[in-house]
Structure 1
Amino acid sequence: MAFGLGVLGLAPGVLWAMTPKELGAAIRGRAGPIGIARPTKAELDAMMARFPDH
């Protein structure tokens, strides 16, 4: 929500009306040609171990 409203500057109604696919495209468009770095499996496993769901 913070990224959509603050960084992308979307109106709340527009943000909530977007599909996840549309929001992903907007985020990728904002990131430019470099893209958004995704965590590796090892990084994701480490984060999940550090912050388990309870």
Structure 2
Amino acid sequence: MSAPRASPPPAFPWDAAMGLGLGVLRLSPAAFWRMTPRELAAAAGFHATRVAPPLARADLAALMERFPDRPDSRPRPRGEAPCETPQSRGEPA
């Protein structure tokens, strides 16, 4: 009795790879064709993880408190009171 034959590996998904490399990653054709499949997979993994998760409302509020939109846009150390400007006092600029 002979050993069962292994099925051939699946074909490489060229359409998906070209769509990712040329469309999503916006590689030039020359750069795409110089890449190895492993390099393309690494680039695809990096691209997929670059999006930061959305901030929670409390985290956004803390950032807005620490980095307010104001004329002197220097970050305020934690606990420091907001700067007072003529606009914040209700005076005309």
What TM bracket, shorter-length normalisation?
Answer: 0.5 to 0.7
Question: What pairs with 1:1-54 in structure 2 (closer than 5 Å)?
Answer: 1-32=18-49
Moved over 4 A (4+): none
Please give the secondary structure, in 2, of the residue aligned with 1:10.
Answer: coil
**Cα RMSD (Å):** 1.2
Structure 2, unmatched stretches of 5+, are 1-17, 51-93
Where relative contact order (Cα < 8 A, 6+ residues apart) is larger, the structure is 1
Shift of 1:32: 0.2
Structure 1, unmatched stretches of 5+, are 34-54
TM-score of the superposed pair, with normalisation by structure 1: 0.57
Q: Distance in 2 between matches of 1:20 and 1:3?
A: 12
Q: Determine what percentage of the aligned residue pairs are the same residue.
A: 52
Shift of 1:5: 0.5
TM-score of the superposed pair, with normalisation by structure 2: 0.34
The number of equivalent residue pairs is: 33
From the two aligned structures, give the one with the greater helix fraction: 1
